Every structure is written in C-alpha cells, then in structure tokens.
Structure 1
Amino acid sequence: MIREPAVKKVLYWCDQCNVPLIGRTCACGARVREIALLQPYDLRPALAADMALIRSLLAERFGDLPLQKVVLLNKTGGADRADLVIAHGDRFGWLTFDPVARKFSLDIAPEALPYILPYATRGVVDLEAEAAVSAHKGRIGGKRFPLKSPVPDGTVIVSYKNRFGTGIVRDGQIRVKELAPVSPRTRPDPDWDVVIEKNRYHLKNLERNAIRTIKKHINDRPCANVSFSGGKDSTAVLHLARKAGIDKAFFIDTGIELPETVEFVASQGVEIIRKGGDFFQAVEKAGPPGKDNRWCCKLLKLHPLKIYLAETGPCVTIQGNRWYESWNRAELDETSQNPANPMQLNVSPIRSWRALEVYLYLWWQEAPMNPLYEKGLERIGCYLCPAVLESEYEDLRRMHPALTDRWDEFLIRWAEKNGLPDAYHRWGLWRWRALPPKMREICRDRGIPVNEDFTLKAAPVTKRAEVATTKAIKTREPAAPAKNEFTPDEIRKDFPILGDIVYLDNAATSFSPEPVVEALVEFEHRYRANVGRGVHRLTRIATQRYWHAHEKVARFVGGEAGITVFTKNATDAINMVAQGLSWKPGDRVATTILEHHSNLLPWRALAKHGVGLDVIGIDADYALDLAALEKAVAGGVRLVAVSHASNVLGVTTPVAEIARICREHGTLLLLDAAQSAPHMPLDVSDLGCDFLCFSGHKIFGPTGTGVLWMREALLEPPVLGGGMVENVTAEGFVPADGYQRYEAGTPNVGGGIALGVAVDYLSAIGMDRIRRHEERLTARLIAGLSALDGVTVYAGRKPGSRIGVVSFTIDGVHPQEAAQLLDEEADILVRSGHHCCQPLMEHLNLPNGTVRASMAAFTTEQEIDLLVAAVDEISRGR
C-alpha cells in the first residue's frame, strides 16, 4: 500500500479566489474546502500542451467553449494516460488515451455542465426528441436507449425536461448518467500568478523545511552534490541545494536523452557524465527493457555513477525523488544509502511534495524549467524508457521522428524475429515482460493470445522475419579505415554479444565481429564443400576462398615469402614444431619463465628424446634476462621458443635482440604471438623469427583456428593422409608443396575462410591505430588500479613494451572471489587464477594467481573506469 502522508489525499480550494491551495489556508482569509483526490493522489497543473489538447477535444464535441486558466490534472490508473481534470474546484472530466485506437478522449463530468452548457453549440442530445425515450416509464439515469438520429460515439450532454446530465454514445445507443437541474455558473478566472500569491506562505514553509533537511545531512559524508536529471523535481532540488550551499551537481547522459534535456542541463552549469554504455547495442541481445525488467538502468545509469563516485569518493547526494512519482518510491525515507553504490548517501528533501508543489515552487522562484513540459511531456528522461506513456511517445514521434523511427524499427524487427503480434509494437505491449491486468484485458478483448505467465504468446517466426534477417546479413560491412585516432565506436556495433557486459577476458578468447560470423554462415549456406579434391562448382569456390584466406593471413604478418599453415590454435602450431623437427639426444631448447603452458609442456615432453630445456628468468620489472638467454644460446641451443607478449603481465619480449642472438649462433627462433597478434602490427621480416604461431580466436576469428608460419618447410608433416600428398604409389608418396603438406584430412574450411575475414577486419581498422588505442587504455588502467589502497598491479613500467593485459590482486580477496564479484555486481567479465602460467606464478609468489583484465580494440575508456571503480569498491570491503 502506498504511504499516504496526512493532508495529501485531498486538495484544498478557495472558492472566493477560485484557486487551488497546498495548505489549509488561503492568503485571503476565506474558508477553504477539501476536494477528494484519486490514487496515487498526485496532481499537477495543466500546461500549454495539456490546455491545447483539452480545448481541442471540447471544441470537437461541443464547440468553442471557454476554459479556466487554472486547470489541474489528477493522475489516475488506466491502460495509459488517465487524468481527472479539475477546474473551478470541481471534477471537470476524465482525460484518457487509448493505446489501441491511438487517440485521446475527454469524458466530461456532470459538475462541468454549469460552466460549459451555456456555450455548447453541438454534442447535446435532447432525449425528448427520441421516441423510445418518450415512451419510457420510470427513471432514465443509468439506462441505455437507442438513438433515433445518428450521433458520433463519445461523450455527450443530455437534456430531458429541463434537466441535464452526461451520456456516452456507442453504436447508435446512449447510456445516460444521472440527470439534474443545472444553473449556469461563473467564477473568477485567476491565472497562476494569483495561485502562487495565495500559496506564498505555504511555499515558504516548504522551502524552509527542504533546506533544513539538506543542511541537516550536508556533512554526513566528506562532500555533497546534486543528482540532476533535467526534470522538474531535480530542478527544484538543485535550486534548494544551491540555497543550502551545495554547488556541485551531475547529470548522467544515458545516450538516449532528448536533445532539449541535454541543452537544458548544460544551461544550468551541471557536470555532464557521458554515457557509459551503448543502449542500442545492448538491446539487440537483451531485448526491450520493460517496466518490470529495467535492465537498462544498471548499464546506462548505475555503471556511469559508479565511475563518477570512484573519483568523487563518499558523498551526500541530494535527489528529487518523491513519494508520489511511483509505487517503488512510496516508502522513501529522508535518507537512504544507495545499495548499488554504497559510497552514496541519498537525501530526498522534497519526498512529500506533489507535482503541484514542485511547479508552484519553481514558478514562484522564477527558476528555469525544461521546455519539454510545456510541449506535453509529463515524464522527462530517456525518450524510449518503458515508463513513458504511449500518449507521450505519440508526441515524441511528432517532435523527434529521427529518434523514434530508430526505436520503432527495432521493435518491429524484434517482434518479427520472436514471432510476436503487431500489437507488441503498435499498442506499446513491449513495455512489460509480463503484462499487467489492464493490458491482459485489452489483449483478451481483441483476441491477442497471452501465456500463463502473462507474456505475449509467440507465433512461429514469419517468412518476413527470415527475409529481413537475410537482408541485414548481406548489408553488413567490416569497419572502414579512418585517418583519425581509432575509437571503439567505429566497430562496437559489429559485436552484439557485448551488449550489457564489459568483456575484459580477451587474452583468453575475443569475440568475432558480424562479418566473420557472416562468413561462417555463408560457407555453410552457400558453398559448403571439401577443398582441393574435386572439380564441381562448390568445391572450386571453397578451394579458392580457403587458399585466399591463407594469402590474407600471410599478408597480415608480412609472411608472403614463407609458408602459412592453418592449425587448430597456437597450441597445435607449437606442438607441430615440437614434433616436426628431428631431435637427437643432446639438443637443447631455451624458453622463458613467462611462457604459457602451451609453450612449455611440448618442450618438456622432448626429454624422452634426450632434449634438454633451459628456462630463462626475468628481472624486477618483468623484462627478460637477455644476458642469461645469450649465455644459454652460446652454450648450444637448437631452438629458442619465446612468447612475444606475456598473457599474465602484458610485457613484450625484445624479439629483435633475441633474433640477433639466435642468428649469431645458428639457432632457430619460434615466436608465440598468440597475445601480440591482436594488439600490434606484426612483420616476420622485422621480427626475424623462423616460426610464428598464433590463435584465431584471439584475433576476432573463430574458435578452432590458428596459424603456423614457417620461413622454410623445415618440419616433417605430423599427420599423414588425404590432402597432403602430391602423388601416392604402392611404394610411397610425394608430399604436396606449400601449406597443403601440413594440413592432412578435411580442414576447418569455414573457420579458415572466416579467419581470413578477421584479419581483413583488423587490417581495415589499422593495427597501428589499435596499438595506440590500447596503449592509452592500458596506461589508464594501470594508473587507476595503482592508486587504489590494497590493490597490487603486476605490469611492466614501459608503455612501449607492454600490451593491453594487466594482472592485479586485492588484499584479502581471493582472485576467484574478486572475478565473481566483478561479474555479479558490475557485469565485468575478467579472468582469475594462474592463466596457464603456474611456473610464473610460483616465481611471483602468487599461489592463488591474479585477476587479469585484458583488452581488445572494442574496449572503451568508460569500461576501464568502471573496472577501476568496481575494484575500488571490492578493496574497500563493500
């Protein structure tokens, strides 16, 4: 049950002045009367657009009627907008919007007749002229009668034997309400300035009490600010807070605000916090938010607020929440700690105000107000918020068609994709996941099926949806190169999986953009065939594209002169080298303490062939000990196998120096580029390596794909069979040339082709641009985490010698627990544990491992800031 403070269920009215009052007394001293209000007891002035609407509806039914300057609207329950209209201190009628018919109606109340009857030129039904009525015996009020002459459906004035009332016409019949004698009445017609003057005493008390509340709590936290939304309530609170001595205010731009609101916020000198998430990307995965499923608030408001508060620190935030705004706020206390952001103590100094008090106060103070109110909007916020009424959204369609068209297009597409009826979009049923009783009733009356859990029943996906989806796939293009510095906004639309999550586990597996996914689908749908062993059209297409993918990947690493082999992943590629070289007892391999298990275990396994292994250490800044490496190589090492970049610390190894050492001693060099390939340009001619390995799933490609580049065909094929031979006789075989020699059997054709699309995608962005972008993000993350008490960062100090991989620990918090908290409380996905590098963890004395955040080209600054803010909360023990 909504909390109903004393005196708030009624409106006071002074009949002498003909004005509404917010207190029990009028400045004129006359006795006032009470007007019972309807739940939720909130009422507001009818503004310019409201007055114009009421006048037009009256004129449509009854002709040009006078309307008092002071009209109030008492919000009531209904299928959409439903207001009790109050004029002259009486019930004037009910203003409603039908979300199915998409139109307003105004049903006048009998109390309005004394003011409008003398002026009505149409819409009056004389029952004495109706034969059926003249023959009727008994009471007429409450009865239904057929009409002799046609009358448009809707509310009418009824006259019968010098008595008057109202009636509703439907389908040629009229239902008559009570009839009574009516005498014309006139009263003073004051404007709102008079209302303000008569309420001045009460407004002063409201202001005094609100300022006292603010001052009472202003020092409860180290700093104080105002949460400003651009709406009337937050405008009133901003005005009050500034009188109380608080100047700092912030506004969270969700990215789907109306331009008038953003302009108004800027005009008030309020700090604007830019959007922390992309709603239109998230909605493609999560579906439309609902009044009962407000997933968007966390993404668009709570996450940016967390970032802001991480910089501000603990604070008192003055907010404009009121008891009567929504049922959720009916129990709002004077102060409350924000459960999502515990650093924030919220203070609600106008929680007992109704909208009428808010408007009167702002007018009294001559405070500026968002212009959208006078244009007909009652609720100011995200223009596609599910809490917006359909009546307001109709106004928005006229005001901002470019904005609403985008949302309408999505809703139509979503409904088609999920087999939902047109009513989902046309009637605004998308605003609920489970329909409330009033909307279920509308659906039942109009034959729209509803499930037992009150969700809309879905039909099979229509052919139209299939066509629309196919068309969308065909029109997707990879990101185009740009001259300016790279920003993730250029590509994030191509990663619908991101949506409402912050993904920072790219060192394990990154995501594939739409062009890569489409390439896989196209292979399966259009030309699925084996490669290199047929002449029909499908195999010719597949063979050509598979071969072309090898060329693309070779070009991506500057390896056109060598041999580019497709593997399952980097692990598979490294094992091919380990198994493909002819080892003999006494051979040695050198690797480093930085290595992933995939670049360590294959070399340890060679011990059964008498092959030794040297593991080179690192210094205090995690840099490779080059002197130790050179000493080992000089002592006789056949192969050096080293990671280009650490998947734990993000540090890069000095490959040019390592290659020089190897060349001087005739040693082969294998470079594990699994972590460097997604983050920086690679050119094997500059790197000087003999083998280069990396995985496809870390460079936007499909899982189950990888690359082994070889300067020369030094390896014996690890697998024999179909596809890797040029000729086979009874006595033996001749292996094929090129990559075919190392790809026996049916390869991952679709994956290989899609891998070629992935490197095209990265090349279109520009690896140099990606490198600079990630350098900025890495520096931002390291600086942010390093500034937190209780957080230890494991990363190199040299910006040019690291990639976007940062490990850290939080005092007293197990890395696994930290990762789980980040996921559950902030929607941030990171990796925890040993990261397949246990020898390195032992070296660093980290038995539980670390938390690891790893970036990709689509990572944003806001996501980095959100991670820092979330880690700060965990480290503080909240």
Structure 2
Amino acid sequence: MLEPPVKKVLYWCDECNVPLVAKSCACGREGKRIELLQPYELRPALSADHALIRRLVQEQFGDVPVAKVLLLNKTGGVDRADLVLMHGERFGWLTFDPVKRSFAFDLAPEVLPFIIRYATRGVLDLEAITDIRKGQGRVGGKRLVLTRPVPNGSVIVKYKGKYGTGVVNDGSIKVKELAAVEPRTRPDPDWDVVIEKNRYHLKNLERNAVRAIKHHITDRPTANISFSGGKDSTAVLHLARKAGVTKAFFIDTGLEFPETIAFVKSQGVEIVGGAGDFWQAVEKAGPPGKDNRWCCKFQKLRPLKLYLAKVGPCVTIQGNRWYESWNRASLEETSQNPDNPLQLNVSPIRNWRALEVFLYLWWQKAEMNPLYEQGIERIGCFLCPAMLESEYEQIRVTHPEYAKRWDDFVERWAAKKGLPEEYCQWGLWRWRALPKKMRELCREKGIAVNEDFTLKQTGPKKRADEMVDIGRERTMKTAMQEKPTEDLDLTGIRKDFPLVSEVVYFDNAATSLSPEPVIQSLVEFERNYRANVGRGIHRLTQIASQRYWHAHEKVAEFIGAKGGVTVFTKSSTESINMMAQGFAWKSGDRVLTTVLEHHANLLPWYRLKDRGVAVDFADIRDDYTFDLAAFEAAITDRTRLVAITHTSNVLGVITPVQEVAKICHDHGALLLVDMAQSVPHMPVDIMALGCDFAAFSGHKMLGPTGTGVLWMKEPVIEPLLLGGGIVESVTRSGYTLVEGYQRYEAGTGNIAGGIGLGVAVDYLIRLGMERVRRHEQALTTRVIDGLKKMPRTTVYVPDSPDRRVGVISFTVEGLHPHEVAQRLDEMADIMVRSGHHCCMPLMDRLGLPNGTVRASLGLYNTIDEVDLFLATMEEITR
C-alpha cells in the first residue's frame, strides 16, 4: 500500500479529554500523539458499535463505565478487527470470529487506571488460580497453567499488588505486563464537545475542500456530484453545493437497502436506473468476490456509462478517500475516469479520515443514512463481497429477508459446485481465490484448498433434483444434464491460460490462446538452443533441427496422416495460396468452392482468372447445412480442384467431407479442405476423410501465431518460394530440389513457432480430442439454447449438435453487431468477434450486410462463462 502522506497519528487533548483532527485544541493546549495502526483509518463508535462494546465489556468485567466518545482504528485480521481508543488510551481490541460467528473484546492494560475500581468480574488473582508461587522470575509475557476452570477470554489479572491483563485459553492464561495501577478519572464529554473543540479545524477542512471544488468545476462544460448514500458522498454533497454544484446523481444497483433509497430521495438526488438483473446473472456466473467483482460492471458501470453519455463531458465531485482502500492510497485531487474519458473526477476530501467526515456532518447537522447507527459501515449493495462478515451478521438481524435470499442462493450454489459448508457459513464465497489469511484459517480448521487457492470440492450436499435453478425456472437436475462431461480437468487447464482469469475469451475462431507449455517452448528455444535448422553440424543446430523435424511428425500423426508431406507455413492463408500458385493449371480448368468459405479460400482462386481458371460455387440449404445435391450438380469434368471448408467459421456447420471426396474423385477432381476450424476442436483423420490436401492454422489450435500447415497426399505443386534449404544441389545451369517438407520451406522459417506448434499438439493429444469435442459440444448447445430464447435475437446455426462446432453467429434486431460486441466487453469482459468474419459472399447469401456477432468456444471455456455470457446478452436484448 502507498501510505497516505499525512495523519498516521491521532492527537488527543488530555485536558478536555477529546480527540483532535489537528495538533491543537480550542482550549489552547496541544494534544498528545497517539500512534495509529495501518491503514490509519479512524471512525467514531456509533450507536450500535458503542452498545456492542459496552455489552461485551460489562459482561466480562461488570458495571464498568464506558466513555461516550470511543474511536475505532481499523486494523488487519481475519474479519473485523478494531483497536478501540478511550480517554486517549488503548481500550482494547474488538474482533469478530467468522467461524464462531461471535464478537470478542480483548482488554488493553493501558485502560486499567480508568476501570479497575469498577471491575467486579473477570479479575483473577494469579496466586489463587495458578501455581505461580512455585515459579520464579518475571510473570509478564508468560503462559501459566490454571489450577481451576476459568472461561476463555480476556481477563484482568492481579499479583502482589500489581495489575495487568491476560487471555485465558483452554486451561492456561497468557499474562501481559504487570504494573502498579493508580485509579484515575477523566471528564466524559460527548460528541458535541468534540465538535466544539475542533470547530476551527473543521472550518479549515471545509474551506480547503470548497476551494478545490471551485477550482475545477469549470474544467468541463458541466459539473455534478456522484452520490452513493454513504457518509463520504454525503459530506461531498454538502461541500459541492456550497461550491455552487447543484446536480447530483445516484446509481441504483437494484441491490440497495431501502433506507438508502429513502435517504437518496430525501436529498433531492437524481436516481439513475438501468442496472442489470443481478439475480439472473448470479445464477449463471456465481457469487461475485473481492477478487472477481463482475457485478460492478454489470450493476454500476454500465448505467454510469449510459448516464454520462447523455450528460456529456463533465466534472464529477466524488467522496473517495485515501483511507478507504489500498488502491486509493495515492489518489490525486483530480483523476481522469479510465472507463469514460468524458468524466474528470475531483476528490476534495481525499485526505479526510472517517473521523473528520462524521465530525463535519455532525457539525453541519446534516442528515445521514440511518444504517450507520445500526452498525453497518459499508453502505452499498447489501450483499457486497467487500463487506465484512461482522456487518453481514448484523444485516441478518436488521434485514432478515434480504439476508435470507442471499443465504439461500449461496447454499444452492455451494451444493451445485460440491463446496464445503464453510463456503457459506464462514463467508468464503467472498473470494474466488482465498487470500493468505483465509487459507491459514482453512488449514487450521482442516478445510482443503486447491493449489490455485480455491476451495476443494467435497461433493454435492443435496440431491440435484431437490434444487431449483431460479434464473431458468428449471430444476437443478435438468441443469446437471446440460453440464459438460467432467472429462476435462478445467481447473488444471485454466492454470495454463492466465488470460482466462481476466476475461471471458469467446473469440477462439479468430485465434486461440496458447498454454504455458507452448509459451515456455518458445522461450526455451530462444534462450537455450537458438540456431537455424538443417544447415550445420554443431550441437545447437542439431537440437533445433531434430525438434523442428519432430514437430512436423507430431502434427502429421495428430491429423492421422499415414504418409504424404506435412509443410509448415505461416497460416492457412499461406497454405492455400501455395496451392493456388503451385498447382499445374490449364486454361479452362475450374475450381469449385462453396458460399461458406473464408476469403482465404476464395481470393487465391479468383486470382487465377488471368490463367483462364474459373471459379464455381455450391450453395447451402436454408437450414445452414451443406447441400450435397447442389454440390454434385455444380461439379463437372472440367473441375480440377474442389476447395471447401471442413467447418464454417461463421455458421459452425460441419461439411460432409467424406461424401464430397467420393464425388470429387468420381469426377477426377482433387480435394483441398480448409481445416482451420475443425482440427482444434474435433478429432480429424485425414486418411478417413479422403481429401488430397488440407490447410489449417497453428494459432487456432493453441500454437504460436505465424504458424500454419499444408498437408499434401502427393507433393504435386511447385514451391511458392525458392532459396536456401530446399535444394539438393545447385549448378550454373540449374538446381535439384530436395524431397519432403523441406522442398516447400525456403529460407529461415518460424522455427520457434514450429516447435511450439508441436508442443501444442502434445497438449491437445494429452487432453484427448474426443473429450475436447464433447466439452465444446455441451457448451455450444447451452449457448444456442439460451440465445434462441431471447427477444429480437436470431441465431445462425444448424440444429443438430453433431453437425456443428463451437461457432455461434447471431444478430440482435436494432443493434449493429459491433455494438453488441462492444457492450459484451464493457459490461462483462466478454470477448467476441463481430462483422463479416471474412465471409462476405456468405453474408450476402444470408442477407446480413452488417454481418453477425460471433461467439466461438474453446477447450478452456466453462459453463460459468457461458452463463455469464447469456445473462449479459439477456440484459442487452432487454
């Protein structure tokens, strides 16, 4: 954390017995310094907290007086942990145990002079309850065995006229330092006195904040106030209005407390709606976490973006402070909104602590959200993952109907995912990956945690058919039937693709992500044996040549090639161009292709027009499937080559390659298949398919960019390039080409990429392409079924799951595909493709001049990601 530059100490006037917001008191005396604990945040103990502390202290020690003015210094802990200050001294530590679901108060020895004469319980004479008389030396800091039962907890101890504090735990007591205690008394002022003694400094705080606001409100054409209903934004609301800013807005997330909504209305603040349907989204995406705040974008940032789009460029006065969170510790007075360049944020109270905020509001006699007095510190969504479990326990008392709805959901989710009961009971749902303090708690209590710090599944706690999926109005049994087969270890797989923890990557048809083993293979080549291949005898070139050759062999085996030549190119596009330019064409030859094709499988054939080669097209059926009859009618005896896709990059339809191959060979034509969208997603057996040539891209099958493959049953084409590495011999009159793949790989190729492609193939083989296919089929079906239920949405896919891969194109009436893609990114970090997808003839056939939105799935995608996508699409379409 970047420590705030000021206010790491508190000043306290011993004469008036009040805390100070600066060094001096109105009485003229300078206050004493009290060192604070990080993050140096101080706040008054309001009604509920004051009553809680008084109850705990009096239950433990009897009718001990508790001062009206108590301060809470937030500190680190498993949950709530506050250092309580009273009379300018440490009073004790207030903590909440999320396991026991209870508060505890641990008394500090510094406060003993003020309470010792009143304590009637919890005072232990060490000589009477331990064997201390047999011991020697210093007592403070030691753990002593009790000779009789004493309840666990904080106690006052006495020994030979000295007093101290201790903690009893399971039959022993740990004693802190003992010292002589002289009873003392001090005046007991209330908060009105505190305000009076700090009035001068509060005026300075106000003056500086108003000046800062006035300095910046003309930096944009308009100015407004961001109001959340909390104390900080309430202070800013008053300050900004004094500076002349009148317009304020509040984003209603749909998860607000009723008290907050009522308070916002009472302040004359505009309420901005448009938040997503959280309850529908959470059924699919799961609970948000402190490290997975998908809800903020869905519930808050989207309405804010739409609101600001209407307002235009503006200055927004906000209540952010240094002491609120780690990431605000270096907040400047002004900051550009990173999500919306129209907005300049001004933070006039960034150096205020909560103490100053409350004192200012009390001084101004400003109305405040009543939730503070009820013991709720974080005002916002009632189920915010950033809330402490101690606060949520209070919500169970003050707002039981709200808590019950959330508790019921978390319990259903945990049962659905096979998570332990502690996931709900301890509030472990608040993290996707548990932080160190919670991992230590789990280890201490015997709760298993995975290597990625997520909770280990323990198996379902309830029968699936007893649980109802609220968002879909279906039973959990149905949902489980739709869940992908548990063949793939998605937890393990996703560790190899770090980017999937940050975004939902549904653009696999354009390019896939590469796993860590592939990335490491590139680094290993560059660091350990970078050398050219096939042109030397030293050790490094031998290693590089062997691994590069082996990568060719692995790719050939992966596609079931029993012979033929496997050539590495830079892409499917280059592979097809090599075919077009290297084939022995004659004037009058014809190429037959289909309306499904990517431009890479069209433009190279169009270019042959100058050689007298014509291009024919076969159409598809209206259900988006391949029309075999139309294809057979289109082929002629003049057709030299048929070039078709194995699976469409727009419709996901799988073409019947085996049947097409038979028709081709019956007519004396050769068959080239574009397998860019099939090889990464389904088992492929080149020999069984019967094709003569195949082209596909390495970067779509987990390999590096700049890698591709051309497989030829017979090497009948001429090399596209001539140069080093492809010749057997060269004389003054000519040259002799080598055999094998080297014949077609002139010059220095992408050696590291080729080796990385071989590692990608290893990765896919280890997973098993049948498993990959089943997994992606299930996800694809879930996406399609969900989209088809949405209003104004048209999906362009074949009906049968066996006839398609994980490529789903769709349109939303009234929205350009680019707009849908942008909203998915902005609202939920979902990456999809939009436009023509390099398939303009197909778009013309479908009557879609603007193209489609395309979601394309990969082996690392999950059912949760699919459901978040569907929830976001439902919001967009609604």
Q: TM-score range by the shorter chain?
A: 0.5 to 0.7
Q: 2:456 & 2:361 partners in 1: Cα distance?
A: 47
Partner of 1:236 in structure 2?
Answer: 235
Find out whether 1:468 has 2:480 as its counterpart.
no
Residue deviations 1:246-273 (CA, integer Å, cap 9, x gap): 1111111111111111111111111111
Q: 2:483 & 2:194 partners in 1: Cα distance?
A: 53
Q: 1:178 & 1:213 partners in 2: Cα distance?
A: 49
Q: 2:620 & 2:315 partners in 1: Cα distance?
A: 47
Q: 1:33 & 1:377 partners in 2: Cα distance?
A: 31
Q: 2:356 & 2:233 partners in 1: Cα distance?
A: 13
The Cα shift of 1:135 comes to 2.2
Alignment of 1:567-582 (within 5 A): none
Distance 1:55 1:144, change over 3 A: same
Distance 1:850 1:344, change over 3 A: farther
Residue deviations 1:458-481 (CA, integer Å, cap 9, x gap): 12x32624343479899749xxxx
Distance 1:466 1:149, change over 3 A: same
Partner of 2:88 in structure 1?
Answer: 89
Q: 1:446 & 1:69 partners in 2: Cα distance?
A: 39
The Cα shift of 1:414 comes to 1.3
Contact 2:277–2:875 (8 Å) recurs in 1: no
Partner of 1:369 in structure 2?
Answer: 368
Partner of 2:836 in structure 1?
Answer: 833
The Cα shift of 1:496 comes to 13
Distance 1:852 1:449, change over 3 A: closer
Q: 2:413 & 2:833 partners in 1: Cα distance?
A: 30
The Cα shift of 1:115 comes to 1.0
Alignment of 1:17-96 (within 5 A): 17-96=16-95
Q: 2:876 & 2:471 partners in 1: Cα distance?
A: 28
Matching residue's letter, 2:250: F
Distance 1:62 1:410, change over 3 A: same
Partner of 1:824 in structure 2?
Answer: 825
Partner of 1:384 in structure 2?
Answer: 383
Contact 2:144–2:174 (8 Å) recurs in 1: yes
SS in 2 for 1:118: coil
Matching residue's letter, 1:2: L
Distance 1:233 1:160, change over 3 A: same
Partner of 1:154 in structure 2?
Answer: 153
Partner of 1:219 in structure 2?
Answer: 218
Distance 1:43 1:101, change over 3 A: same
Find out whether 1:333 has 2:336 as its counterpart.
no
The Cα shift of 1:178 comes to 0.7
The Cα shift of 1:437 comes to 1.5
The Cα shift of 1:863 comes to 3.4
Distance 1:607 1:475, change over 3 A: closer
Matching residue's letter, 2:813: V
Residue deviations 1:402-437 (CA, integer Å, cap 9, x gap): 111111111111111222111111111111111111
The Cα shift of 1:3 comes to 2.5
The Cα shift of 1:16 comes to 0.6
Distance 1:602 1:398, change over 3 A: same
SS in 2 for 1:119: coil
Choose 446-455 or 230-239, whichever is displaced more.
446-455
Distance 1:80 1:835, change over 3 A: same
Contact 2:281–2:872 (8 Å) recurs in 1: no
The Cα shift of 1:146 comes to 2.1
SS in 1 for 2:462: helix
Find out whether 1:140 has 2:139 as its counterpart.
yes
Contact 1:73–1:84 (8 Å) recurs in 2: yes
Matching residue's letter, 2:330: E
Choose 467-476 or 333-342, whichever is displaced more.
467-476
The Cα shift of 1:232 comes to 0.3
Residue deviations 1:19-39 (CA, integer Å, cap 9, x gap): 000111111001321100000
SS in 2 for 1:129: helix
Partner of 1:251 in structure 2?
Answer: 250
Residue deviations 1:428-465 (CA, integer Å, cap 9, x gap): 11111111111111111111111222211112x32624
Alignment of 1:681-700 (within 5 A): none
| TM-score relative to the length of structure 1 | 0.59
Q: 2:181 & 2:288 partners in 1: Cα distance?
A: 50
Find out whether 1:277 has 2:290 as its counterpart.
no
Matching residue's letter, 2:394: D
Partner of 1:534 in structure 2?
Answer: none
Choose 179-188 or 412-421, whichever is displaced more.
412-421
Distance 1:859 1:135, change over 3 A: closer
Partner of 2:512 in structure 1?
Answer: none
Q: 1:471 & 1:232 partners in 2: Cα distance?
A: 38
Partner of 1:321 in structure 2?
Answer: 320
Matching residue's letter, 2:826: E
Q: 2:845 & 2:169 partners in 1: Cα distance?
A: 83
Aligned residues: 571
The Cα shift of 1:286 comes to 1.6
Contact 2:821–2:853 (8 Å) recurs in 1: no
Identity %: 62
Partner of 2:290 in structure 1?
Answer: 291
Q: 1:605 & 1:128 partners in 2: Cα distance?
A: 102
Contact 2:153–2:167 (8 Å) recurs in 1: yes
Find out whether 1:423 has 2:422 as its counterpart.
yes
Q: 1:864 & 1:826 partners in 2: Cα distance?
A: 13
SS in 1 for 2:393: helix
Contact 1:805–1:853 (8 Å) recurs in 2: no
Distance 1:362 1:184, change over 3 A: same
Partner of 1:2 in structure 2?
Answer: 2
Match of 2:876 among 835, 838, 863: 863
Partner of 2:681 in structure 1?
Answer: none
Find out whether 1:805 has 2:813 as its counterpart.
yes
Distance 1:61 1:281, change over 3 A: same
Partner of 2:802 in structure 1?
Answer: none
Q: 2:357 & 2:47 partners in 1: Cα distance?
A: 17
Partner of 1:119 in structure 2?
Answer: 118
Contact 1:26–1:32 (8 Å) recurs in 2: yes
Q: 1:474 & 1:64 partners in 2: Cα distance?
A: 56
Q: 2:87 & 2:76 partners in 1: Cα distance?
A: 23
Residue deviations 1:143-192 (CA, integer Å, cap 9, x gap): 12222332211000101111100011111211111110111111111110
| TM-score relative to the length of structure 2 | 0.59
Q: 1:323 & 1:188 partners in 2: Cα distance?
A: 33
Q: 1:85 & 1:605 partners in 2: Cα distance?
A: 83
SS in 1 for 2:372: coil
Distance 1:131 1:316, change over 3 A: closer
SS in 1 for 2:402: helix
Distance 1:131 1:366, change over 3 A: closer
Structure 2 unaligned residues grouped into runs of 5+:
476-481, 485-501, 508-594, 596-618, 635-649, 651-777, 794-810, 856-869
Matching residue's letter, 2:5: P
Structure 1 unaligned residues grouped into runs of 5+:
478-494, 506-570, 572-594, 610-646, 648-750, 775-802, 809-814, 866-878
Contact 1:807–1:850 (8 Å) recurs in 2: no
Matching residue's letter, 2:252: D
Partner of 2:763 in structure 1?
Answer: none
Partner of 1:353 in structure 2?
Answer: 352
The Cα shift of 1:307 comes to 0.9
Distance 1:843 1:145, change over 3 A: closer
Matching residue's letter, 1:53: L
Residue deviations 1:262-301 (CA, integer Å, cap 9, x gap): 1111111111112420112111222111111111111111
Contact 1:807–1:851 (8 Å) recurs in 2: no
SS in 2 for 1:166: strand
The Cα shift of 1:807 comes to 6.1
The Cα shift of 1:331 comes to 1.3
Contact 1:413–1:465 (8 Å) recurs in 2: no
Distance 1:365 1:441, change over 3 A: same
Contact 1:807–1:852 (8 Å) recurs in 2: no
Q: 1:117 & 1:474 partners in 2: Cα distance?
A: 62
The Cα shift of 1:608 comes to 7.0
Q: 2:471 & 2:872 partners in 1: Cα distance?
A: 24
Distance 1:501 1:59, change over 3 A: same
The Cα shift of 1:117 comes to 0.8
Q: 1:474 & 1:254 partners in 2: Cα distance?
A: 22
